[in-house]
């Protein structure tokens, strides 16, 4: 882990390791860059715990999609730098990292700096789990559940410069794995349940950066407020999934992949930049915990396990008062790097989109692309 002074320096710098490409028009949706393979090879290093740090093998898209809600919808093309320095109030920028991972950012009135909230940021996208989901062109090492997995710090360093808060829905690896590194790098405050926070302690994240929650809290941080919502994990295995394990205080690093257990599930309502965004890390929810909330943006768990839930989409959207914008989340193939041809689960997204259109015809459905910046404004 890096020293604090180094982390501060990193946070303050405003250059970017990947060239920012300004777009000529909104149709240029894919601007791709790739690290030099040799440079990547040189960065491979052996770490204690027997596993190899992953090499960066990914493509990034630099794209901004701006949507005005209310007074019609229009699209703008802007470079990412322009968005990051925007001083427009009542404007929120979202960026999708894949799995259940998001960046929500807004520049408060009178401030030069954005408030940045990360949600389940999982950028390592390790070759883990079902080999049928792996990309044959992916030459990275694969992992079993008894291995120790380290964050792909090259990918994270290329994509994340700053964060004020990191919200963690639950502590499975595709939600929590990269959080210790990002917390050390950015100094962000991590908000999660006891298991998540004990994992942070195991990785030396300082106490001042940890907020332990149960669900039910509604915390005001000034320019952003965050309501923590008790929830349920996806009903995996034909509803047989049940994982009561926790990570105890006193756990030590490195943790094996199978030690990253759910530890309970949460949702969040984030009030930021004139918007209310409800976030999901799973394909499930508790009806009484979300009834009456009125987010204008819902990041809805969209993988097929939601079909195990009775009337999942219609009930969810009705309980939330039919949000103006719905975006699917946790429905990509997060075992492959960004840019892989099989990173997007097109059939899942199409089926989900049809359900949303049927249940909420007035809701605007936005399907995010990996790393795309989407700016939403209220007019």
For residues 274 and 110, what is the distance between their CA atoms, to the nearest angstrom? Answer: 14
Residue with Cβ nearer Zn ion (196 or 209) = 196
Q: List the interface residues with Zn ion, window 145-174 (CB under 5 A).
A: 172
Beta carbon of residue 174, minimum distance to Zn ion (angstroms, whole number): 7
Identity of the residue, 91 or 196, whose beta carbon is nearer to Zn ion in the bound complex: 196
For Zn ion, which is the closer residue by CB, 172 or 306? 172
CB of 168 to Zn ion, least distance (A): 11
CB 143, min distance to Zn ion, A: 16
Neighbours of 123 (CB within 10 A): 28
Taking the least distance from each CB to Zn ion, the nearer of 95 and 172 is 172
Edge to edge, the sheet with strand 64-69 lists 64-69, 373-378, 91-98, 101-106, 115-119, 165-167, 189-192, 210-212
Residue 255 CB, nearest approach to Zn ion (Å): 15
Of 170 and 324, nearer to Zn ion (C-beta) is 170
- Contacts with Zn ion by CB under 5 A: the residue count is 1
Nearest distance from C-beta of residue 191 to Zn ion, angstroms:
17
For the segment 276-335, give every residue that binds Zn ion (CB under 5 A): none
Using the minimum distance from each CB to Zn ion, give the nearer residue, 162 or 172: 172
The DSSP string of 203-264 is TT--GGGEEE--S--EEE-SSEEEEEEEE----TTTTT------PPTT--SSPBGGG----S
**What are the structure tokens assigned to 56, written together?**
């960066």
Contact call for residues 302 and 352 (beta carbons, < 8 A): yes
- Binding to Zn ion by CB under 5 A, coded x per residue (else -) over 171-200, reads -x----------------------------
Distance between CA atoms of 253 and 150, rounded to whole angstroms? Answer: 11
Smallest separation (angstroms) from Zn ion to the CB of 331: 13
Hey, is 61 helix, strand or coil?
coil
Q: Report in angstroms how near the CB of residue 233 gets to Zn ion at its nearest.
A: 6
DSSP label at residue 169:
S
Q: Which CB sits closer to Zn ion, 125 or 172?
A: 172
Query: CB nearest Zn ion: which residue?
Result: 172
Q: Please state, in angstroms and rounded to a whole number, the distance separating the CA atoms of residues 199 and 166.
A: 14
Nearest to 362 by CA among 310, 320, 326, 331: 326
**Contacts to Zn ion from residues 250-279, by CB under 5 A:** none
Q: Given the rule CB under 5 A, which residues bind Zn ion?
A: 172
């Amino acid at each position: 882990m890096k020293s604090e002074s180094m982390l501060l320096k990193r946070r303050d710098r405003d250059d970017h390791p990947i060239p920012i490409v300004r777009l000529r028009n909104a149709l240029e949706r894919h601007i791709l860059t790739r690290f030099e393979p040799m440079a990547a090879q040189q960065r491979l290093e052996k770490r204690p715990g027997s596993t190899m740090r992953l090499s960066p093998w990914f493509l990034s898209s630099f794209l901004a999609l701006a949507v005005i809600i209310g007074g019609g919808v229009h699209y703008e093309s802007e470079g990412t730098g322009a968005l990051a320095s925007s001083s427009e109030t009542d404007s929120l920028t979202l960026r999708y990292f894949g799995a259940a991972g998001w960046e929500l950012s807004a520049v408060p009135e009178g401030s030069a700096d954005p408030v940045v909230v990360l949600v389940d940021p999982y950028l390592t996208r390790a070759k883990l789990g079902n080999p049928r989901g792996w990309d044959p062109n992916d030459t990275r090492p694969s992992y079993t559940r008894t291995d120790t997995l380290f964050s792909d710090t090259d990918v994270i360093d290329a994509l994340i410069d700053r964060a004020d808060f990191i919200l963690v829905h639950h502590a499975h690896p595709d939600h929590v794995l990269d959080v210790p590194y990002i917390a050390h790098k950015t100094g962000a405050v991590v908000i999660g349940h006891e298991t998540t926070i004990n994992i942070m302690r195991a990785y030396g994240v300082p106490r001042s950066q940890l907020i332990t929650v149960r669900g039910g809290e509604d915390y005001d941080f000034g320019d952003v407020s965050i309501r923590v919502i008790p929830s349920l994990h996806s009903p995996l295995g034909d509803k047989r999934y049940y994982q009561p394990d926790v990570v105890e205080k006193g756990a030590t690093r490195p943790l094996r992949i199978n030690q990253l257990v759910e530890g309970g599930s949460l949702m969040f309502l984030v009030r930021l930049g004139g918007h209310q965004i409800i976030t999901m890390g799973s394909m499930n929810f508790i009806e009484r915990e979300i009834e009456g909330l009125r987010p204008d943006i819902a990041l809805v768990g969209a993988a097929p396990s939601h079909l195990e839930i009775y009337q999942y989409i219609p009930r969810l959207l009705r309980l939330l008062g039919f949000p103006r914008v719905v975006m699917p989340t946790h429905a990509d193939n997060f075992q492959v790097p960004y840019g892989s041809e099989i990173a997007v689960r097109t059939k899942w997204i199409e089926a989900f989109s049809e359900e949303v259109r049927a249940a909420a015809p007035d809701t605007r459905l936005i399907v995010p692309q990996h790393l795309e910046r989407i700016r939403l404004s209220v007019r």
